[in-house]
Structure 1
C-alpha cells in the first residue's frame, strides 16, 4: 500500500512556500453583512409565497418528460432585495416512492435533495436523471431530486467574458517552464480577459460570488417549500455549502460534502490553487505508475520515469506538428489533467498515447480535440469560474508574486503549475471589488452533523482541506477513501462509501467521527471509451 503522503516532495515544499506567499489581505475575514442577510430573508419569504411552477423543460436541455423545470427569482444584489432580479432555472424529478429492494413497499417522501456539482460554473440541471442508476435508486425513491443552474450559468443570467467564437483558437502551447516572453504574452491575455469580463457584464459582475451562491441556495430552499435544506455538494459545491451552514445554520437538515474544499479564508483562492498544483503532481505520478505496471499493454515504459519520457516525446512532437491540426501540447495537457480527476480515464489516455507513438494519431485526436460545438457553454463556464474566484477574495496584484511562487513550485511540480496560473491570472487584474472571505465555522449544536467525503489522494481538493472542513464544522463526520484519488466519490465504485451516504441521507445514521473505507480497485487496462461518455471537470 502506498504511503499516504499527500503530495510527496512537492507538497512539502509548497507548505513552506505558502507560509510566505502574500496573497493580499488573506488574514482578514468577513462577517455577514446585516443588510444582505436581511435581503436574503426578504427574498426567501417572497420565494416561499410564490413557489415554483414546474412544466416542460426547455428543448435545448434535452431532458425527458419525467423531468420538469421551473424558475426562481433571486436578487442580483441582496443588499437591495427589491431591486433587479435574476431568474435561476431549476429541474426536478419527483420521488418515485419505490424501494428497489422491495417492490411492494411504498417509500414515504423525505422532501427535496438539492445537488450542486461544483465548478464554479457548473450546472446540475441534468442531475435528476441520475435517479435511474442502480446506486441512486434508493435516494430517488425517497427524495425529489433537484438540480439547478447557479447564477451566471447557462440559462440563469449567463455571464460572458469573451466571444465564444474566440474561446477555442486551435492548437496551443503549454510549456512547463515558460520563457519570459511567453509569460509576457500570457499577462497581456489575462488583462484582456479581465477587461472583457468587466465590459460584457458591467456593474453586475461583482454580484457573482460564493456568498450570493449560498444565499441563492436558501431562496431555492424556500421556493421548493422546504423548511430545512437537504443538500449534496461536490468540490466547489462544498465550499458554498459550508458558507450556507455558517449563514443559515437553522435551515440545515442534512448536508453531504463530497471532495471538500479547504474553507480556511487564507486559502481562498490564491493559496488553494498553489496547493492544488502541488497535489496534481502526486496524482500525475499515480497515473504514470499505473501505466508502467501495464507496460505489456501500452509499451510506454515500465517505470514512471520512462512513461514521463514517452509523454514528453509526444508533447514535443505536437509542438512541431499538432495532431489532426487540432491537438497541440495544451490540448494534450488538458486531456491528461482530467486523468488526475478520475482514474477511470486512465486506460483511454494511456491507449491514445501508445497509439500516437506507434503512428496512429486518431485516438489522441478523438480524445483531446476541442469540442467546438460546446464553445459557448465552455466559455460561459470559464467566465463564471473566473468571476466567482476573483470576486471572492483578494489576489496578488503584483506579477512578481505569482512569478516567484509558481517558479519555485514548478521546479518540483511542473505538470499543472503554470496551466493553473494562466487560468487564474485574470484575478490579478480584476476590475470589480474583492470581498474578504467569510470565516466558515459552526459551533456545537448549531447545525445537524454534516457528512464529509474525501479520497486520500484527491488532487483537485487535497485531503488536508477535508480535515480543515471537519475541524470548522462542529459535529461533522469525515469518511475517507484510503489510497484513492478520484475527485467525487459518492455513489461511485466504492460500496463502503455509498453505504455511509445511504445511511445518512435515508436514515440519519452516521459513522464515528472519522470512518475509513478501503480504496476502490484500480482500473483495468482496456481500449478507450467513446468520447461522448467523458466530461471535463475543474474544482
Structure 2
C-alpha cells in the first residue's frame, strides 16, 4: 500500500488484471463493475459551508448563481466523436478557484452517450467510479454497469473530476520514480526504515508541488461537486441524476448537501461516512479489508491446494503474515527488473479483496509467489496502481492523496503518532494493520494545508436518495453506509448481504432491479430492504 484511503470500484482495480495475468489462473478475473480511499467534505471555495468539523453540518450554497460564475454556467460545449463508438467528448471550462473565478481556469473533460430509446428521454445520468482519482470517462466507456433499460432513457454522462485523468491533472513523479515509490517498505522494522519511508512521502509531496503546485489547493471534493453542478446546468438538466460508487458516494452526498434543490435521483453505492475523521476512517477500512480477507481465507481453506493451508482462517492469516515477512527479507523474482517486495505483495493481496471473483486468481498468484515466482502477484499490484505493461502509471495515485490530504486533517502528523496507534490497527487486522497504519502517514508531509473537516451532510430538502451498502465490503465498510443513510435526511438504505466492493451491476438481480426501478420511475426501495 503506497497510498491510504483509496476507494474505487472493483472494475477499476481489475480492468488491467485479466490482460496481465490471463493464463496464470484457472479462475477468471473480477468482472468489470466498480471503487476506492475515503475522502471528506472540504471547505475550499465553499464560503457558505458550515465551518469546523465533526458534529458540524455541511450547509447548502445559495441558489442564485454568483455573477462571476455566470459565464461558466452559460458556456456551450462543442461535442465531437471520441473513443468507443457512439460516444461524444467535449471540454468544459471551470474556475481554478471558486473564490476568485476570474483568476484562471482549468479544463474538465466530459463524455456522453446519448439515450438509445425506446421511451421518453429522462435527462442525463452522471456516473463516477470513485478513487478519488478514478477516471469517470474510462469507467463510462468501458465498465459502467447501467443496463439497456437505463441507457435507453438517459444520456449517460461522465466527467473526469478536476485533477483527474483527461481533465487538468495532478502530476507528481516520473514512471521510474513511481516504481521506486511503490516498492518502499511500508512496515518499517527500525528507525532507519521509518526515516526512509518518511523520506519517500516527502519526496512524493515535493514532486506534486513542483509539477502541480498551482492546482493542488483546488482539487477538493467540494470544488468537484461545484463542477458537477455547472455541468448539470450546461447540459440543460434542472436536477442531477447520478450513480456514484465508493468515493463517488462522498462526491454525490457532498453535491446533495450543497445543492439539495438541484438533487434528483442519486444512487450512492459503497457508501462513505462523511462524519469520520481520517484516523477513524483508516482504522475502519483496515477492519474492512480484514473482514474481506477472512472471507477469502474461509473459501481458500476449502481447497486442498490452498497456499495458506487448510486448517482455519486464523492459521491462514498467520501464514500470509509469515510470507510477507519472508518477502521483506528476500523479494521474489518476477521475470523482470522489478522484484516482488513485501509492499507490492501486500498491495496485490489488497487488490484481490475488492471482488470475490478474483479469489481463484489470488490463490494461484500466492502459490506461485511462495515458490519464488512473483509475476502474477505483481500483476495484481500493478492493476491496483494502474500501471500498464509499458510501465506507465495513470495519475490516479497522484490525484488520490491530492484530494484526500485536502479534504481532511492528516490521520498522523509524525511517526510517533503512528507507533502509538499500531495496537488499534493490529487489532483491526493482524495481517494488514501495520501497512495500513504507516500508509496513513502520507498526508503529514503534504505541501498544502487541509481545508476541509469531517462533518455530517443532512442535505435537507433533497429528493429521495438511495444509499447502498455491502455487508462484507472491504474498502467501504457496511457501517459507513448506515452512517451516511442516517445523515442524509431523505435517504433509504439498500443492503447487499455479500462480499466485494459495491453492489450495483455485480450479479444481484435484487439489487439491480431495485436501483433500476428507482432510476427509471423514482420509486425508492422499501425501508430496510435486504438483498443477496
Q: TM-score range by the shorter chain?
A: 0.7 to 0.9
Q: Greater CA deviation, 280-289 or 292-301?
A: 292-301
Deviations 1:210-259 (A, max 9, x none): 11011111111111111110011111111121111111011111100000
Alpha-carbon contact 1:47-1:222 (below 8 Å) kept: no
Kindly name which structure, 1 or 2, has the bigger radius of gyration based on alpha carbons.
1
CA–CA distance in structure 1, aligned partners of residues 130 and 108 of structure 2: 16
Tell me what 2:342 maps to: 329
Tell me what 1:270 maps to: 279
Alpha-carbon contact 1:452-1:479 (below 8 Å) kept: yes
CA–CA distance in structure 2, aligned partners of residues 306 and 318 of structure 1: 19
Tell me the SS of whatever aligns to 1:477.
strand
Deviation for aligned residue 1:357: 4.0
Tell me what 1:347 maps to: 360
Q: Greater CA deviation, 67-76 or 199-208?
A: 199-208
* CA shift in 2, pair 1:227/1:299, >3 Å: closer
Tell me what 1:467 maps to: 482
Tell me the SS of whatever aligns to 2:170.
coil
Alpha-carbon contact 2:308-2:320 (below 8 Å) kept: no
CA–CA distance in structure 2, aligned partners of residues 346 and 145 of structure 1: 32
* CA shift in 2, pair 1:271/1:183, >3 Å: same
Q: Pick 1 or 2: higher relative contact order, CA cutoff 8 A, min separation 6.
A: 2
Deviation for aligned residue 1:56: 2.6
Tell me what 1:510 maps to: 524
Tell me the SS of whatever aligns to 1:80.
coil
* CA shift in 2, pair 1:361/1:229, >3 Å: closer
TM-score, length of structure 2 as denominator length: 0.82
| 2:135 corresponds to which of 123, 127, 134 | 123
Tell me what 1:73 maps to: 93
Deviation for aligned residue 1:53: 1.6
Alpha-carbon contact 1:29-1:436 (below 8 Å) kept: no
Tell me what 2:206 maps to: 195
* CA shift in 2, pair 1:515/1:225, >3 Å: same
Q: How does 1:224-373 map to 2 (within 5 A)?
A: 224-264=235-275, 267-295=276-304, 300-312=309-321, 314-319=323-328, 320-324=330-334, 325-357=338-370, 363-364=376-377, 366-368=379-381, 371=387, 373=389
Deviation for aligned residue 1:284: 1.3
Alpha-carbon contact 1:293-1:302 (below 8 Å) kept: no
Q: CA RMSD in A?
A: 2.8
* CA shift in 2, pair 1:40/1:243, >3 Å: farther
| 1:486 corresponds to which of 497, 500, 521 | 500
Specify every segment of 5 or more residues in structure 2 that has no aligned partner in the other structure, as ranges: 1-51
Q: Greater CA deviation, 247-256 or 156-165?
A: 156-165
TM-score, length of structure 1 as denominator length: 0.81
Count of residues in correspondence between the two structures:
473
CA–CA distance in structure 2, aligned partners of residues 439 and 170 of structure 1: 32
Tell me what 2:404 maps to: 389
**2:241 counterpart of 1:223:** no
| 1:54 corresponds to which of 65, 79, 86 | 79
**2:417 counterpart of 1:417:** no
Tell me the SS of whatever aligns to 2:78.
coil
